[in-house]
Structure 1
Amino acid sequence: MHRIHFISGLPRSGSTLLSALLRQNPRFTAGMSGPVAGLLGTMLGEMSGRNEFSVFIDDEQRRRVLKGVVENFYADRDEAVIFDTSRAWCARMNVIAELFPQSKVIACVRHMPWVIDSIERLVQKNTFQPSSIFNYTVGGTVYTRADGVAKGDGMVGYAYNALKEAFFGAHASQLMLVQYETLVSDPGKAMAAIYDFIGEAAFQHDFEHIEFDAEAFDIKAGTPGLHTVRPKVGAVERRTVLPPDVFNRFENDAFWRNPELNIHGVPIV
């Protein structure tokens, strides 16, 4: 029987790098965001009152079906520990707690202005390829793009609100936050904390040789480089491409940096 954990959190905050590191351990399998969370959400909807046959479905049947979606998706994997990735998992903490009470959710976070900066940098880099992030639309400015990703159903806004829901919610005991800044500057510390959190024996990771290939997916999404991982872990100092007012707009959004707000004692590394 597999042990299942979940990777979630903010976009452009190290989840792909984390997956690339985790999969170095032969006991683990991990990857980029996949379809499982979406399948789970679809099944929840199909078994709801909008389906005229929902009167024949009780909660125990729903539980078995939903748990089966996750377990059967990975039934052919030989690895003992599964890490499934989706920004939606932070908004599904109640479902995870019911179906997999022993599972953990590792949420990747990053100082918010640099999340917006990273997205804008990708857009500016891929001059001739409109991105799926903005529904392949052409035009707009850094301001409209920042507004688009930051709104409640945007790429960043949704993930940010889901993260707050998980952090302040009833099932925060299953949650851990991994800061991008720590992951790239002190990966040994970050990985040791993760292993301790999920109750796995320590493993010697190679931070000098990282492999992850999602080039075909990124090209189809019109955003080459979206899941590119540098071959060596390390922090890169750079100037932002955002105008000062856009950068400053998100400067104070990293609530996890305020210890007084961590009312549930969520581990943060």
Structure 2
Amino acid sequence: MPDIHPSAIVSDQATLADDVTVGPFSIIDAGVNIGAGCQIGAHVWVTGNTVMGADNHIGYGSIVGTDPQDASFDSSLESNVVLGDGNRIREYVTIHRSTAAGGSTTVGNSNFLMTGVHLAHDVQMGDFNNLANNVLLAGHIIIGNRVFLGGGAAFHQFLHIGDFAIVQGNSAISRDVPPFCTAHGRNELAGLNVIGLRRGGFSAEDRADIKRAYQLLFRSGGNLREALAEAENRSWCDAAEVLLAAARHPSRKGLITGKS
């Protein structure tokens, strides 16, 4: 049976795997489904038909699955939050459910959300991402894999953050962050995430091709449309094509192209 502290409140309509632990004064509402090996800390509230995979750790004071911060939202609408496996959610993190009927705010696998992180409604997050303290993500943001977001960075709604991107702390970002790139300040690019690419196992040849694509897109002196047209005349490795695809198909916010 789950190990539930006597002060916790767990609905008999919630589903908990046998080895789940629930800390003091936590609340698990009806409709929540928590997988094997999950640890729910003290003073945590899990609600909104949230679904968790295995081995997630939810830290003190965190809230998962509550209504989105949308003044027009109808609380009777059914939506949820879905967490994969092996996520580490630290203290006072908030993750809000989707604004769409039957929709989900999703967090993949092996992500690390540090103290005070906020994921708004309909965020879609991949795997192995690290979000430092007090990162703020507005609604409908799409995050790839192996991204690092520095403490206090804030992100406007609907934008995309590509694989292996890194964003400096206290940045204010309102446009897409391209894959493999480093962003800072107010929508500025500082270059490629060279260390992240090396640690990610990209070959020297692939890293060089990514660099050539970056130089063409953001440092060639022309506009992005001209750069993409030129890219069609060259051959690229698969990794460089990921960067080019992000430039060809940005979100409604557009791509960061500025440089310091």
Q: TM-score, normalised by structure 2?
A: 0.24
Q: TM-score, normalised by structure 1?
A: 0.23
Kindly name which structure, 1 or 2, has the bigger radius of gyration based on alpha carbons: 2
More strand by share: 2
Structure with bigger RCO (C-alpha 8 Å, 6+ apart)? 1
